[in-house]
Chain A
Amino acid sequence: MTQAAAPTTGDARTALEARARAMLDRGPAWLAAHRRGALERFAARGFPTTRDEDWKYTSLQPLARAAWTRPAPPDLARAREALGRLRLHLSGGLTLVLVDGIPVPELSVLPPGLAGISIRRLAEAAVARPEFVEPYLARVAAGGDRPLADLATACFEDGLYLHARRGTCLPVPVEVIHLTMTAGAAVFPRTLVVAEPESRITVVEHHVGLTDAPYATLPVVEVAVGRNAAVEHVLWQDDAASAVHAATVAVRQDRDSRFASHVLTLGAGLARNDLGVGLAGEGAECTLDGLYLVFGSRHADHHTRVDHWKPHGTSRELYKGVLDGQATGVFNGKVVVHPGAQKTDAQQANHNLLLSPDATADTKPELEIYADDVKCAHGATVGRLEEERLFYLRSRGLPEQAARDLLLRAFARDVTDRISIEAVRARLDRWMTERLPALAGREEGA
């Protein structure tokens, strides 16, 4: 995938299970029990293979076949230098920085006077605030067959705890920058967001690699959205081209709550996102948007699952992908309307644009409906850039590359427009301006 040296070829399972065993007694007893259970499940099951239905189109060989190491102590000077250009610099904004999955307070920016918001290291919150952490940590992301989340639960050392107290509306987004710096390491960033009733919080999690050598990052994000609360979450993945990024995002929503997710998959050689939302209270609403720009010989797989458990729930989902070179994209969107979830309104769409004859996209909607008074719709397309559109723009004097870029942006536009944070939209726009011409069709490995 790149020129950089791969970590020692070996067995990730052996290396990571050993690491998990060393973590078994860390934290309070309830957490240790989760770790033990997660490790037992993973040890019995191992990494998924393409024989597993949910992994049919995504081979985890690049993850499974390397003896990933523990991260080294961070080089703060280098991190600080990178943060200068990575930070969104929102006025009055706060930036929390994790290096290789571990919070680094010296690099973070926390303005004073954040009433109603509690921000802590997760390991510390698990001890100090068990009443808020125990009900959610390793529980929101539990259930079903989730080997990678299990592995992460068994291995993670620390993470971030964000808590909005009842009625608190945080006016600026919480910016979280996850830097991976150790070549050859496996890292397990962990985030827990607890939004109490009537609160409102926006979290932008930005994943970036500061090494060109392969690494593996397996983030787990758990979000509990209280009654009538609102959470907006951006997972902005710009990991290194040689990296494996396999994220699990799990959300539980109470009555009348709103959750908006924006997944931006721009990097990583192998990217897999599992996003699961449980609408556990009546009248809850979620919006799941995703944009994946996949070039060269990269692979990006997005699996989403929405469980409608209660009546009057709404889910809206729009994922769009642009694929070039020999890139491959997978979208699998499952919507389950459970018995009794009447008046559910679920819509899902996935559209893919193939820029080269060798790029492919697999898209699969799955609807399971066990209630009779519901409205569910889905649509999926895989298409190519229309030559006639390109000719039209060129005939008006736009150079070919500019015309292609314009059409690409136009394609992505309805997803990007829905991100409420102007600074993120602007950054994404700049990313496209700088990277699209260079990436198009002639990237590494293409």
Chain B
Amino acid sequence: MLEIVGLRARVGGKEILRGVDLTVRAGEVHAIMGPNGSGKSTLAGVLAGRETYEVAGGTVTLDGKDLLGLAPEERSWAGVFLGFQYPVEIPGVTNATFLRAALNARRRRRGEPELDAVDFLALVRRKMKALEMDEAFLHRSLNEGFSGGEKKRNEILQMTLLEPRLALLDETDSGLDIDALRVVAGGVNALRAPDRAIVLVTHYQRLLDYVAPDRVHVLSQGRIVLSGGPELAKELEKKGYGWLQTAGTAGAPARS
């Protein structure tokens, strides 16, 4: 479903991704792990269309369709969802206004009728309940003054509303206490479906205790240097990332 071949990307002239290859099939959950600065967030940002990154080579397709030529909103319409590591605060736009605008933008593109306020509220209340979110969140400015955990829950709420084909979660587990982590993980698990792929970008093993990945990849110095099953995450937890640095620079072939 998601096919990344030889992806290279630069930020401010510095090459961060140096030839990433990754295939994610429908129904799978993949975890991308790696030390700070390895390019994990860059990879997620490039897939979602963040314009500060300059794509220098390679291809990315979703269901065979080229993603790299699309604007961020077009990628969203194609089914890409990025859960932000640092969700943005927007004073003056209520969460409800934003969620409904996002939902209806997508429905319009698909030729579906827009949801009116009543139907929207019914839907969003149901989703919020599952995430143990207070309805008061709807009427607050988007992410403004939200705690770290509240922001991440709000990301998951958006994801469950938008029902993406490909969900990229960028460090969604960072900064969460254990209760919030459990709720967020529950939201992710609820979204697992045969026609959907989920890519978890994470620094920690912890999230993977709750969301069992099908595949685990290690990104180091802009390349995937190691791939394996769920057991790889456990191994990384024990050994850290230090031993990989050398493997990466030596250009060791990825086990796959």
| A interface, CB within 8 angstroms of B | 386-389, 391-400, 402-403, 406-407, 409-414
List the B side residues contacting A413 at CB < 8 Å: 92
B220-247 CB contacts (< 8 Å) to partner A: none
* Selected A-B contacts with CB under 8 Å, 27 pairs: A387-B51, A391-B72, A392-B88, A392-B90, A393-B90, A393-B102, A394-B49, A394-B76, A395-B48, A395-B73, A395-B76, A395-B81, A396-B76, A396-B105, A397-B73, A397-B77, A397-B109, A398-B105, A400-B73, A403-B73, A406-B93, A406-B101, A407-B90, A409-B93, A410-B91, A410-B93, A413-B92
Residues of A within 8 A of B75 (CB): 395
CB distance A388 to B88 under 8 Å?
yes
A413 to B105, CA, bound (A): 22
CA distance A398 to B108 in the complex (A): 11
B210 at the interface (CB under 8 A from A): no
Provide the B98-113 mask, 1 if CB < 8 A to any CB of A, else 0.
1001100110010000
A413 to B92: give the CA distance in the assembly, Å. 6
Report yes or no: B102 in contact with A398, Cβ–Cβ below 8 A: yes
Which A residues are in CB contact (< 8 Å) with B92?
409-414
Q: In the complex, what residues of B have CB within 8 A of residue A406's CB?
A: 93, 97-98, 101
B72 touches which of A394, A411, A412 (Cβ 8 Å): A394
Binding site for A on B (CB under 8 A): 48-52, 71-73, 75-77, 81-82, 84, 87-88, 90-93, 97-98, 101-102, 105-106, 109, 141, 158, 162
CA A172 – CA B106 in complex, angstroms?
A: 42
A391-B51, A392-B84, A392-B87 are known contacts. Are A397 and B93 too (CB-CB below 8 A)? no
Chain B residue at minimal CB-CB distance from A398: B105
In the bound assembly, the distance between CA atoms of A397 and B158 in angstroms comes to: 11
Asked whether B51 lies within 8 Å of A402 as measured between CB atoms, the reply is: no
Q: In the complex, what residues of B have CB within 8 A of residue A387's CB?
A: 51-52
User: Interface on chain A toward B: helix, strand, loop, or mixed SS?
Assistant: helix
Specify which chain A residues have a CB less than 8 angstroms from the CB of B88 in the assembled complex.
386, 388-389, 392
CA distance in complex: A397, B75 (Å): 8
Instruction: From known contacts A406-B93, A414-B92, infer whether A394 and B71 are also in contact, taking CB-CB under 8 Å.
Output: yes
A391-B49, A392-B87, A394-B72 known; 20 new pairs, CB 8 Å cut-off, are A386-B88, A387-B51, A389-B88, A391-B51, A392-B90, A394-B71, A395-B48, A396-B162, A397-B109, A398-B101, A398-B102, A398-B105, A406-B93, A406-B97, A406-B98, A407-B90, A410-B90, A410-B91, A410-B141, A413-B92
> How close is B165's CB to chain A, nearest CB, in angstroms?
13
Q: Which residues of B contact A396 (CB under 8 A)?
A: 76, 98, 102, 105, 158, 162
Question: A395–B90 contact, CB under 8 A?
Answer: no
Query: Across the two chains, which residue of chain A brings its CB closest to B50?
Result: A391
Determine which residue in B52, B76, B158 has the highest number of CB atoms from chain A within 10 A of its CB, and name it.
B76
Q: How far is the CA of A394 from the CA of B72 in the complex (A)?
A: 6
In the bound complex, what is the Cα–Cα distance between A132 and B133 (angstroms)? 60
Contacts A407-B90, A410-B91; A397 near B105 (Cβ below 8 A):
yes
Does the CB pair A402–B101 fall under 8 Å? yes
Contacts of A397 in B (CB 8 A): 73, 76-77, 102, 105-106, 109, 162
A389 to B88, CA, bound (A): 6
Cβ of A395 and Cβ of B82 under 8 Å apart?
yes
Q: Which of B51, B87, B101, B106 has the most CB of A within 10 A?
A: B101
Q: How close is B54's CB to chain A, nearest CB, in angstroms?
A: 15
Chain B contacts of A403 at CB under 8 A? 73
Write out the residue numbers on chain B whose beta carbons fall within 8 Å of the beta carbon of A399.
Answer: 73, 105
| Closest B residue by C-beta to A417 | B92
Most chain A CB atoms below 10 A, which of B75, B81, B88, B102: B88
- Given the complex, which residues of A lie within 8 Å of B50, measured CB to CB? 391
Which chain A positions have C-beta within 8 A of B141? 410
CB distance from A343 to the nearest CB of B (A): 31
Give the complex CA separation of A402 and B51 in angstroms: 18
Smallest CB–CB gap between B60 and chain A, Å? Answer: 15
